[in-house]
Amino acid sequence: MRDLHNFPRVSLAHLPTPLEDAPRLSAALGGPRILIKRDDLTGLALGGNKVRKLELLLADALAQGADTVLTTGAVDSNHCRVTAAAAARLGLRCVLVLAARHEAPPLQGNLLLDRLFGAEVHLFPAPVPTAGNNRLLELTAAVRARGGKPYMFPAGGSTALGVLGYALTVEELLGQLAARHLTADYLVVASGTGGTHAGLLLGTTLFSPSFTTLAVNVIEADNVALSERTRAVYTEGAALLGLPENSARPAFTVRAGYVGGGYGVLSPGGAEAIRLLARTEGILLDPVYTGKAMAGLIDLVRTGELAADKTVIFLHTGGAPALFTQADTLAQQAALVSH
Q: Are 334 and 274 in contact (CB under 8 A)?
A: yes
Which DSSP string corresponds to 92-156?
A: -EEEEEEEESSSS--S-HHHHHHHHTT-EEEEEETT-HHHHHHHHHHHHHHHHHTT--EEE--GG
Cα–Cα distance measured from residue 142 to residue 148, given in angstroms and rounded to the nearest whole number: 9
Q: Are 57 and 13 in contact (CB under 8 A)?
A: no
Gyration radius from the chain CA atoms: 19
Catalytic amino acids? Answer: 77
Conformational region of residue 224, where left means phi above 0, alpha means psi within -120 to 50, and beta covers everything else: alpha
* Residue 52 host element (H or E): helix 50-63
Conformational region of residue 271, where left means phi above 0, alpha means psi within -120 to 50, and beta covers everything else: alpha
Residues in the chain, how many?
Answer: 339
